[in-house]
Amino acid sequence: MRLGGFAHAVGSAEANTFDASLQVVLPKFLADNYGWWNFLNPHTYVGGMFNTGGRTSSVRAGLLWQIPFTERFFGEIFFGGAYHDGSKVGDATHNALGSRALFNVGGSIGYRFTPQWSVLVTFDHLSNGKEVFGTGFDRNVGINNYGAQVSYAF
C-alpha cells in the first residue's frame, strides 16, 4: 500500500496544483526465488492520482518492475494504462490529452527502512502516446507529476 503527494502537471496549463495518490502493489507473478534476474518478474499495480485543485485526476493499473541496487536502495519502472476525467481538447487550465484512455509510465528511486516501510521519489507520466505509438489523436500534451510516496508492505 502506498500513499503519496505529487506536484501535478509540472510545466503545463495544469501546473501549480497538487495530487494525492493511493496505490496498491500486488505480489510478484511468480515465486520470489529466482536469483539475480528476479527483477524481471513484475508486480501488478492499481491506484489513482486525485487532483486537489479541480484539474485532471486518474485511475491506473499496470506492471511494475523493482530493481535492487543495494539491500536498502532500489529503483522501479512501471508501465500501464490510465483513465482520466480531464480534458481531451484542453483549455486555459486543462491539458489537451486527446483521449480518455492514456498510457501511464514512470519510475522511482526508493529507500527501504525495514522490510515493511519504504519511501520513494517518483516521476509519473500520462500520455496518449501519439509520437511513440502513432495513436492518431490530434492532441497529446500529457501530464508529468513529480512526488514522493510512503510504502507499507503487508
Each residue of 30-89: pLDDT tens digit?
Answer: 766 666 677 788 999 999 999 999 999 999 999 999 999 999 999 999 999 999 999 988
Which of helix, strand or coil describes residue 139? coil
Is pTM beyond 0.85? Reply is yes
Looking at residue 96, which CATH number applies to its domain? 2.40.160.20
Q: Would 26 be classed as within a structural domain? A: yes
Total domain count, the chain? 1
Helical (H) or strand (E) element with 78:
strand 73-84
Helix (H, G, I), strand (E, B) or coil at 132: helix
**Which structural domain, as residue segments, surrounds residue 112?**
2-128+142-152
On the CB side of 94, how many CA atoms lie within 13 Å of its CA? 17
pLDDT band at 104 (very low <50, low <70, confident <90, very high): very high
Q: Do 2 and 148 contact (CB within 8 A), yes or no?
A: no
Q: Residue 94 in contact with residue 51, Cβ under 8 Å? A: no
136 falls within a domain: no
Task: Assess if residue 133 is contained within a domain.
Answer: no
